[in-house]
Structure 1
Amino acid sequence: MTQLDARPRAGDTVRGSAPADGGTGSGGVRGKGLGGNSVGLMGSAVIGVSTVAPVYCLTSTLGSTAGEVGVQMPAVFLAGFLPMLLVAFAYRELNKAMPDCGTSFTWTVKAFGPRVGWMCGWGLVIATIIVLSNLAGVATSYFWLLAGEITGSSSVAALDDSKPVHIITCLALIAVATAISYRGMTATKGIQYALVGLQLVVLALFVTMALSKAGSGGPDFASSLDFSWSWLNPFAVQSFAAFTAGLSLSIFMFWGWDACLTANEETTGSEKTPGRAALIAMVVLVGSYLATGIAAQMAVGSGESGLGLANPDTSDNVFAALAGPVMGPGLGILLFLAVLASAAASLQTTFIPVARTVLAMSAYEAMPASYAKVHPRFKTPGRATVTAGIGTGVFYTVMTLVSEHVLVDTIYALGLMIC
């Protein structure tokens, strides 16, 4: 493995963009042939939000978090946000010094040597494969739920309960996302703007309607709660074990913001723009999570009965249970559509960090050289992208066959790997 000057000498600023010819630039940054100046500040921030997929994260994690920490769910969201915010500040400074698409892999090699960097790179790759499989699973479930809502047929929605149908649909979605990612980020930049905008608008509508239903006295909202500032107190969690479990889930909900940085070599102003975009994405995410979590908790409570967020029958897919009661049969379809769009958009953009990490590891001789090849037309790491797609499909297929609660199991497996 090529060492990136593991202990930088005084005066070595390792600044500057990688040269287009694939050589080694200042500070040991190697050009990889990626398309430069493809996205700006807003586009980079949209990539960060899209990769995290706030609506998907909320539907798959809101109930599990409430089950662990009860009404202290908003406090745990804040507790998970703080370390990730500090990491974002650190990443911003590291990116200023060395704007390399390998991000944590390259920076760790630079600071601690090739062995630690190799472990860091593989940790990121494995964690991303796990989250890609989870994204594909949620997208598949909501595809059939939305199809059932549109057709008015419960038998169509029930197709998701068939493992063969679920797996085949999931593999098809992974294949489509892989193909789009193979063709480059800019090809779908406009679509990403639309999908992220849709998510935020639908979340705002859900929050507004949930707050209006809180305390309404309807049969579905008998467990509604009045807002209390104590919900924001992390020290009120009943036990440290519950807090750590909730924190792991909360950290999972911020997964993906660093996609802004893995696209740094393709971003205008690669030294500063990705770091700023990451901070913008983090603020948008924590605001969305707090507003949605508080509104949902006020509407249905955090208990295990009825529509309570911690109900084990609905906790792994909260919005599927709340869409109709909160938003009605007409607008409820928008929530299904938002989750599907969220998971599908994130499934595509999440290929950005894993493919570019593999590309960087190959460029610095930590993986076979064939993974460093960039498509001459699309300027993307084609082989790395396809390999990530195959790995995701295999992992999710195996997990679905051996686990009855594959979504929750993968989330718990992922939480601590993110840091």
Structure 2
Amino acid sequence: MLLTRHTLLRTKPVEQLADEGAHTKLKRSLGLLPLVSLSVGATLGTGIFVVLGDAAPEAGPAVVLSFVLAGLAALFSALSYAELAGAVPVSGSAYSYSYATLGELVAWICGWCLLLEYGVSVAAVAVGWGEYLNSFFESTLGFRIPDALSAPPGDGGVINVPAAIVVLLATVVLLGGIRESAAVTTTTTLLKIGVLVFFVVVAVTGFRSGNLTPFSPMGLSGIASGASLVFFSFIGFDAASTAGEEARNPQRDLPRAIVISLAIVTAAYVLVALTAIGAVGVDTLSSSKASLAAVLQAVTGTGWPATVLALGAVIAIASVVLTVLYGQTRILVSMSRDGLVPGLFSRVNRRAVPAANTLLVGIVVALLAALVPLGQLAEATSIGTLVAFSLVNIGVMVLRRTRPDLQRSFRAPLVPITPLIGLALCLWLVAGLRKETWLAFAVWSVVGLVVYFGYGMRRSRLNTPRKGGATGADAAP
């Protein structure tokens, strides 16, 4: 196949995407509440239960502002997601939006970043889940799973068995069907919110204003560095956009679910971070990976509140694994349907589940969770997410120019100002990541380009003539 600029920049018509979504083999069964639960379930818990203790030393008590800054970056991107989710209601999330606006090569890069975002974040959260499982065992049964079996190489262990187990359990639930998965997600999300409310009520009894001084010992650079790290905790608010072909009324409900879920998550993070630091200070918070359980232990002097929190975290973090794993499988469905990855990933069984896709993803992520340390996973996830968010912000501006006539159930306000702010904040946060993270991302990107030029470009469905003799690229606006 002759490589040309036209080939790399060919776009997939919005009408073609919409038609594929309308004739999906997936089952449309999700209303607004399950969609909000999907996004909140995929987001709430990852940062607060896992990353807060790591981020606090970066910014001091001002890590609260790091959450606010990361939330603002997510908000401007969320408005762009909401507009595109209502205009292009398909399963591919930012990948499909980029395909419709920026061309096939950019869409591939975005999809490749999303595979990093979703797959690696699942593994990172699974690692944190193992820490809270050990905390629960310590407070109730008086023992820990040995480090050799509960930590990966590089963190003092050999293999993280609990992390692998929770990923495989989530895989089994997903294989049961979307309706069953949604019921589990809604239940665990409500439990998760209840556990965090319990934490705030207990932790505020130990609040000391002196624990907040000096408030920002590292200055603005520390706040920005903290925001780059905790941005990991906002990954997942876009999970509803991966359910575009399983929502009953996607044009109406997807934009609402994205904005509502981000508001819930940001409020929860700020409240929990503020009360945690106010109760015990940064040093105590950063001394334990199961940091919130340690806060309650320190505040009350008794073990039962920490036990309640640890049990809630075990269940709640498991729901994050479930929902984010779901999102990755649906992105692969879209990429496979476009011919960019093998057709195996888009085949569904009698339950309308992409079974082979789900099983393969579950096994790969379980291996990552078992063998890679948490810190490296969290930062690698952040850079993939920020790149994808940047492309979504650009996509809104492009689609406004190329398709002003397109029906949009939600319109981001003050375009192009809001997506430009979202883009600038994403680039700022990316700049705050470490060199090692950039190196890992560069290697991942090179591998992705090799796969695209060696496989995806040649097998793209846009190479196949559509009715009337035009390819999808020729039909693009």
1:29 deviation in Å?
A: 4.7
Label 1:191 to 1:396 Cα distance change in 2 as closer, same or farther (>3 A): closer
User: What residue number does 2:169 align with?
Assistant: 176
Label 1:274 to 1:349 Cα distance change in 2 as closer, same or farther (>3 A): same
2:37 paired with 1:52: no
User: What residue number does 1:410 align with?
Assistant: 377
2:275 paired with 1:275: no
Q: Which residue, out of 85, 101, 104, partners 1:114?
A: 104
Distance 1:139 1:353 in 2: 19
Query: Does the CA-based 8 Å contact 1:46-1:192 persist in structure 2?
Result: yes
Label 1:105 to 1:161 Cα distance change in 2 as closer, same or farther (>3 A): closer
1:3 deviation in Å?
A: 9.3
User: What residue number does 1:347 align with?
Assistant: 321
Label 1:26 to 1:299 Cα distance change in 2 as closer, same or farther (>3 A): closer
Q: Which residue, out of 305, 318, 323, partners 1:331?
A: 305
Distance 1:383 1:157 in 2: 33
Label 1:273 to 1:154 Cα distance change in 2 as closer, same or farther (>3 A): same
1:396 deviation in Å?
A: 2.6
Q: Name the aligned partner's letter for residue 45 of structure 1.
A: V
> Deviations for 1:24-68, whole angstroms, at most 9, x for unmatched residues?
5656657331001x11111110111111132x4213211222110
> Deviations for 1:97-118, whole angstroms, at most 9, x for unmatched residues?
1111012111111111111111
Q: Name the aligned partner's letter for residue 339 of structure 1.
A: A
Distance 1:398 1:387 in 2: 17
User: What residue number does 1:403 align with?
Assistant: none
TM-score, structure 1 normalization: 0.82
Label 1:155 to 1:332 Cα distance change in 2 as closer, same or farther (>3 A): closer
Label 1:193 to 1:7 Cα distance change in 2 as closer, same or farther (>3 A): closer
Q: Which residue, out of 60, 66, 70, partners 1:76?
A: 66
5+ residue gaps, structure 1? 9-13, 16-23, 216-223, 400-405
1:389 deviation in Å?
A: 0.9
In the TM superposition, 1:192-271 aligns within 5 A as: 192-215=185-208, 225=210, 238-239=218-219, 241-271=221-251
2:353 paired with 1:385: no
TM-score, structure 2 normalization: 0.73
> Deviations for 1:2-31, whole angstroms, at most 9, x for unmatched residues?
9997286xxxxx46xxxxxxxx56566573
> Deviations for 1:178-219, whole angstroms, at most 9, x for unmatched residues?
11112223113333222212221221121122111124xxxx
Distance 1:39 1:65 in 2: 35
User: What residue number does 2:77 align with?
Assistant: 87
5+ residue gaps, structure 2? 2-6, 387-477
> Deviations for 1:100-149, whole angstroms, at most 9, x for unmatched residues?
10121111111111111111101101221111111221222222332332
- The list of structure 1 runs, each at least 4 consecutive aligned residues, that deviate by more than 6 angstroms after superposition, is 1-5
Label 1:239 to 1:212 Cα distance change in 2 as closer, same or farther (>3 A): closer
1:324 deviation in Å?
A: 1.8
2:143 paired with 1:154: yes
> Deviations for 1:226-267, whole angstroms, at most 9, x for unmatched residues?
669x96xxxx67355433321112211101111111012111
User: What residue number does 2:23 align with?
Assistant: 31
2:277 paired with 1:297: yes
User: What residue number does 2:11 align with?
Assistant: 6
Distance 1:28 1:184 in 2: 21
1:391 deviation in Å?
A: 1.4
1:162 deviation in Å?
A: 6.6
Query: Does the CA-based 8 Å contact 1:48-1:277 persist in structure 2?
Result: yes
Q: Name the aligned partner's letter for residue 327 of structure 2.
A: P
SS in 1 for 2:197: helix
Q: How many percent of aligned residue pairs carry the same amino acid?
A: 22
Query: Does the CA-based 8 Å contact 1:32-1:363 persist in structure 2?
Result: no
Distance 1:65 1:169 in 2: 24
Label 1:299 to 1:381 Cα distance change in 2 as closer, same or farther (>3 A): same
Q: Name the aligned partner's letter for residue 140 of structure 1.
A: G
Label 1:161 to 1:369 Cα distance change in 2 as closer, same or farther (>3 A): closer
Mean Cα deviation higher: 70-79 or 316-325 = 316-325
> Deviations for 1:296-330, whole angstroms, at most 9, x for unmatched residues?
1111122x3xx2x23xx32x331242232235312
SS in 2 for 1:179: helix
| Alignment length (residue pairs) | 376
1:348 deviation in Å?
A: 1.0
SS in 2 for 1:123: helix
Higher helix content, 1 or 2: 2
Label 1:154 to 1:71 Cα distance change in 2 as closer, same or farther (>3 A): same
Q: Name the aligned partner's letter for residue 165 of structure 2.
A: A
1:78 deviation in Å?
A: 0.8
Query: Does the CA-based 8 Å contact 1:30-1:363 persist in structure 2?
Result: no
Query: Does the CA-based 8 Å contact 1:92-1:274 persist in structure 2?
Result: yes
User: What residue number does 1:221 align with?
Assistant: none
Distance 1:27 1:268 in 2: 15
Distance 1:267 1:28 in 2: 14
User: What residue number does 2:348 align with?
Assistant: 374
User: What residue number does 2:89 align with?
Assistant: 99
SS in 2 for 1:154: coil
